[in-house]
Amino acid sequence: MSKAPLRLSRRRFVGALTSSLLLAGCRRDAPARAADGAIRFGIANAPRNLDPRLATDATSERINRLLYTRLVEFDSASRAVAGIARWELAEPTRYRFTLGDAGRGFGDGSRMTAADVAATYRSVADPAVASPHRALLSLIARIEVLDDHRLDFHLQRPDPLFPAYLGIGILPARLIDAGHGFERAPVGSGPFRFIDWPVPGRVWIERRADGRRFAFETVKDPNVRVLKLLRGEVDLLQNDLPPELVEFLDAREGVRVQRTDGINFSYLGFNLDDPVTGRVNVRRAVAHAIDREAILHYLFRDGGRLAEGLFPPEHWAGAGGLAPYRYDPREAIRLLAAEGWTAANPLRLQYKTSSDPFRLRLATVLQAQLRRAGIELSVQSYDWGTFFGDIKAGRFQLYGLTWVGIRSPDIFRYVFHSASMPPDGANRGRYSSADADDLIDRAGRELDGGRRAALYRELQVLLHRDLPYVPLWYEDQVCALRSGVRGYRLAADGNYDGLAVLARA
């Protein structure tokens, strides 16, 4: 990638962007304040499903964390710790969970019992519910409710990671039995209760501790989102902003910008059923054709760190010693030539992405870099719903996405095991490897923590070699807040938990 032209175009972009935002921001003399005292959160993509058994998009997952409590949470090293319940291994295939007192009041006024927990997980196992978590939790043989506070999970086989699988929000059993539509009318026991979803782009919730209301306002265009922040029409933004806009906001009075290292894993995914991207040399050529360091430096303004696997090195199962695929267009050309593609007969690939302007800019940079390695990349952009629907359905050759909030290495089974092809999991690239399956299965059975971590590291070496994903980076987490709100804590995985303590000055 030519670095000087990129610097020049960036200056022009920033100058034009700043001028347009300043002019637009002057159209009003004073910011518009919400008369109802609500705090408004500007988001790029609307939630799609507020049933925690079914949600798969990041926005839904983050809002669900506010509305529902979970048996299990995770510490800073992504180890499972007690959420609303503590557990003990009663037998090699039996875990006993005991509910605590906190987080047991549902938003409809009823109290959570062990029967609600059992009903939630039994419904996940029901094929009629079509939960994407069903395959992962298929090792549950049965659930035994002992009393209102205790229940036992009986497993098909020993699995020392089992508690980490229980991160699904708990729903009321009586509403599950009644066929309640949680996806549009959630009822949970989290720190917030659902109020309304009046239009597709706006969701209202209420903080249970003090009755403070919050509105999630969907504004797809990042420029408009920034204008709304400057005018006081929204109070905070988080992520989904190009670095130029972040720098612009950082220099504005009345706005505070926060940053922290992120752990969300960005990658390029391949369709391994495709006759072209199913070839490992093609995938390796793509990996060598991408100058990730230049992209991070110039496009992201150093707002991230390179990734070689799903987990960062500080994760207990992270693989810190993986050698990166270095930027080497000549090696990419050599690999393609071995498969029959040359300058006279270039490889042509289709790349799918969202219609977000920054993701389109990233796509054009990838397009230019791959062209230098003899790969003609056709970029196809879609609104988020269409794009994500195509990825889940396997309608792609190559795409770019980010795994958000992954904590437990059970993600390897969910994403890479041959038994996790959709709809039974998220192996959307149709990766199938007997060696990977064996390592995933052995790691899931291993009782010794050190040996278990070693097996997961061995698995990541295999995945790094086979490249069902090209690992890209972990993007930083960024938020911008008006000076009238305070106390927000930015999380490494981008969750919205900081809203529990956010206040208006």
Of 112, 146, 177, the residue at which a domain comes to its end is 177
Q: Are residues 339 and 324 in the same domain?
A: yes
CA–CA gap between residue 188 and residue 205 (Å, rounded) = 12
pLDDT at 14 exceeding the cut of 90: no
Asked whether residue 212 is assigned to any structural domain, the reply reads yes
pLDDT band at 101 (very low <50, low <70, confident <90, very high): very high
SS3 content of the chain, % helix, strand, coil (to 5): 35, 25, 45
Residue 334, both tokens: 């050599």
User: Residue with structure tokens 């000549």?
Assistant: 330
We report the CATH number of the domain holding residue 74 as 3.90.76.10
Q: Is the pLDDT of residue 365 over 80?
A: yes
Is 76 within 8 Å of 263 (Cβ atoms)? no
Instruction: Assess whether 447 and 489 both reside in one domain.
Output: no
**pLDDT reported for residue 71:** 97
Domain stops at, among 177, 209, 229: 177
One domain, residues 410 and 363: yes
Q: What's the pLDDT score for residue 424? A: 81
Q: Do 272 and 408 lie in a common domain?
A: yes
Cα separations in angstroms, 277 against 42, 327, 500: 37, 19, 44
pLDDT in tens, 307-316: 999 999 889 8
The verdict on residue 164 lying in a domain is yes
> Is 51 domain-assigned?
no
First to last CA, the chain: 46
Q: Which domain holds residue 286?
A: 265-475
Q: What pLDDT, on the 0 to 100 scale, is given for residue 280? A: 97
pLDDT band at 5 (very low <50, low <70, confident <90, very high): very low
By DSSP bridging, strand 398-403 and strand 255-260 are unpaired
Please compute the mean of the pLDDT values over residues 48-71 and round it to a whole number.
95
Q: Kindly give, in sequence order, each residue whose CB lies less than 8 Å from that of residue 161, ignoring residues fewer than 6 positions away.
A: 80, 408, 409, 410, 444, 452
The distance of Cα 189 from the centroid of its chain, to the nearest Å, equals 23
Question: What is the SS3 assignment for 127?
Answer: coil
pLDDT at site 44: 93
Q: Which pLDDT does position 341 carry in this prediction?
A: 96
Percent of the chain at pLDDT exceeding 90: 79
Phi, psi of 371 (to 5 degrees): -60, -35
Confidence category of residue 7, pLDDT binned at 50, 70, 90: very low
Mean pLDDT of 296-306: 94
User: Worst-scoring range by mean pLDDT, 97-101, 341-345, 462-466?
Assistant: 341-345
In this structure, how many other beta carbons lie within 10 angstroms of the beta carbon of residue 303? Answer: 18
Domain contains 187: no
The CATH number linked to 414 is: 3.10.105.10
| For residues 15-29, average pLDDT | 46
* Gap between the Cα atoms of 217 and 206, Å rounded: 15
For residues 332 and 374, the answer to whether their CB atoms sit within 8 Å is yes
pLDDT digits (tens, 9 = 90+) for 178-217: 999 999 999 999 999 999 999 999 999 999 999 999 999 9
Whether residues 327 and 454 fall in one domain = yes
Q: Which of 36-40, 307-311, 333-337, 400-404 has the lowest mean pLDDT?
A: 36-40
Pick from 17-26, 45-54, 151-160, 267-276: least confident:
17-26
- 341 lies in the same domain as 247: no
How does pLDDT run across 105-134, given as a tens digit for each residue?
999 899 999 999 999 999 999 999 999 888
Q: Mean pLDDT for the chain?
A: 91
Number of domain units in the chain: 3
CATH of the domain at 236: 3.40.190.10
- Domain assignment present for residue 189? The answer is no
Q: Is residue 52 part of a domain?
A: no
Pair 256, 293 in one domain: no
Q: What number of residues does the chain have?
A: 505
pLDDT digits (tens, 9 = 90+) for 447-481: 888 999 999 999 999 999 999 999 999 999 999 99
Mapped onto helix, strand or coil, the DSSP state of residue 466 is: helix
* 188 domain residue, yes or no: no
Worst-scoring range by mean pLDDT, 23-37, 122-136, 245-259? 23-37
Instruction: Say yes or no: 364 and 429 in one domain.
Output: yes
User: What is the DSSP code string of 201-235?
Assistant: TEEEEEETTT--EEEEEE---HHHHHHHHHHTS-S
Which pTM was predicted? Answer: 0.80
Q: Is 262 exposed, middle or buried (0-12, 13-18, 19+ CB in 10 A)?
A: buried
The region of weakest confidence among 130-134, 172-176, 350-354, 396-400 is 130-134
**Whether residues 300 and 430 fall in one domain:** yes
Q: Is there a domain that residue 300 lies in? A: yes
Q: What is the DSSP annotation of 359-371? A: HHHHHHHHHHHHH
Q: What are 269's strand-pairing partners?
A: 399, 469
Same-domain pairing of 103 and 85: yes
SS3 of 465, please?
Answer: helix
The predicted structure's pLDDT at residue 447:
83
pLDDT score at 136: 81
Where does a domain end: 116, 143, 177? 177
Q: Assess whether 97 and 160 both reside in one domain.
A: yes
CA dist 453 and 351 (Å) reads 34
213 with 68, same domain: the answer is no
Decide which of 16 and 305 is more confident: 305
pLDDT value, residue 281? 97
pLDDT tops 80 at residue 483: yes
